Structure 1
Amino acid sequence: MLLWRRALDPHLGRWSLPGGRLRPDEDVETSIRRQLAEKVDVRQLKHVEQLAVFSSPDRVPGPRVVATAFLGLVPSDVDPVIPEDTRWHDVASLPRTAFDHESIVLRARDRLRSKLCYTNLGFALAPEEFSVSALRSLYSAALGYRVSATNLQRVLARRGLLVPTGNTAPSGRSGGRPAALFSFAGDGMQITDPFAVFKPPQHG
């Protein structure tokens, strides 16, 4: 999760989500992309969707502020040069955040986990080409538990989401058979299985 450190009161020095005001001449997605580019130099969003409206009267000190939050995803192979006051944070170990931003982050985490189960949203996290092992790592990180590479490939292939590129990954130090590379079939989020759920492995 990308957060930046506030330079002004209230909550000076706390970590917060990038944000700002909508200009009269722009739509919401244009505003999101502009502000991320201007404030934290992130320009490679692969997917953007509205998350929720946060309207608690006391969510910020002073005059009431209603916030509309959005979930934006950047492919894993994109490494933007971000300002010194901006950091990527593990959602499982967030620093102290400003206002109600922790609850917004957790809502975004839950939305992503849910949509990875029944849509093709993995396309927005993956590079253009990937091995099943690399994709498994992305899904495991997002879902919060280890995903079986075999099961993941079977599920995504059954949904028609994986396309073999004909290329292979470079061999590692130990040699062995190079891993086949795949890409996602098409861009843009689609519901692929409305009742699907990736479940954590059962123990015991």
Structure 2
Amino acid sequence: MPRTIYRDQRGVAKFRHEVLAVVLRVSQADLEVLVTDRSREPFTGMPALPGGPLEVDETMEQAVLRYEDGLLDVSRLGHQEQLSTRSEPGRDPFERTVATTYLGLVAPDTEAEGKARWLPVRPSTPMAFDHAQAVTEAVVRLRGKISYTNIAYALAPAEFTLAQLRDVYQAGLGHDVDVTNLSRVLRRRGQIAKTGHREESGLRGGRPPATWTFTRHDYEVTDPFAVLRPTLRGHQ
């Protein structure tokens, strides 16, 4: 089907502007993205990011929250930021559409609501429109920022063991993380502190591990030159 192109009386192109939300969480050391399955053409049945066109009386920030509301508890969003603008002329086969994407992060126990579900992030997973590329951009942004900021607070539980925190960083960075090195770096930066509590004892018995929390729950650049790289064998 050919795309429809509209112009005003002066010949200036008129087009649709939409927002898209790339909301990520960590589950079992795996990144997941919030999606709904499309019920109409184009791309019927394929997973798609929450989003849609702006109203004339709202900002993009208001619009993205409106589309997220009902698909998850928006009060659980620990962090949200504008990601990019996608303006490829053919990204929507029906009409000229420009999309502004947002990266949102939530804790592991955040449930999908309504028609939404959590989809494991995989490079090979097909998605509607160019939404797979938007997810890739979001993951790249997260992997860059998780090294030099405290942004992991938005993906972690309020209280966590160091093993659970390692899972968050492994999912965010995309490679194995040594828990001892990680805790040393974050404690040196003053990013985490003990809560004084311990995790409930499991079936294995033994002394339950201590729980920790982030010292701040708002975004902060903690080490602008840091890069958390994979641990090399023999150099732990």
TM-score, scaled to structure 2 = 0.80
What value does the CA root-mean-square deviation take over the aligned residues?
A: 1.6
**Within the alignment, does 1:188 sit opposite 2:224 as a pair?**
no
Identity %: 43
1:25-104 paired onto structure 2 within 5 Å: 25-38=57-70, 40-43=71-74, 44-80=76-112, 82-83=113-114, 85-92=115-122, 95-104=125-134
In structure 2, stretches of 5+ residues that fail to align are: 1-32
For 1:2-24, what per-residue CA distance to the aligned partner results, in whole angstroms no more than 9, with x for missing partners?
Answer: 11111111111111111012233
Determine helix, strand or coil for the equivalent of 1:87.
strand
Determine helix, strand or coil for the equivalent of 1:183.
strand
Number of aligned pairs?
201
**Within the alignment, does 1:131 sit opposite 2:161 as a pair?**
yes
Structure 2: distance between partners of 1:148 and 1:35: 38
Greater alpha carbon shift after TM alignment, 153-162 vs 177-186: 177-186
In structure 1, stretches of 5+ residues that fail to align are: none
- Post-superposition offset of 1:183: 0.9
**Within the alignment, does 1:157 sit opposite 2:184 as a pair?**
no
Tell me if the contact between 1:132 and 1:153 (Cα under 8 Å) persists in the aligned partners: yes
Q: Quick one: higher RCO (CA 8 Å, sep 6+), 1 or 2?
A: 2
Higher strand share: 2
**Within the alignment, does 1:109 sit opposite 2:139 as a pair?**
yes
Tell me if the contact between 2:72 and 2:110 (Cα under 8 Å) persists in the aligned partners: no
Determine helix, strand or coil for the equivalent of 1:24.
coil
For 1:145-170, what per-residue CA distance to the aligned partner results, in whole angstroms no more than 9, with x for missing partners?
Answer: 22111111011111110021111111
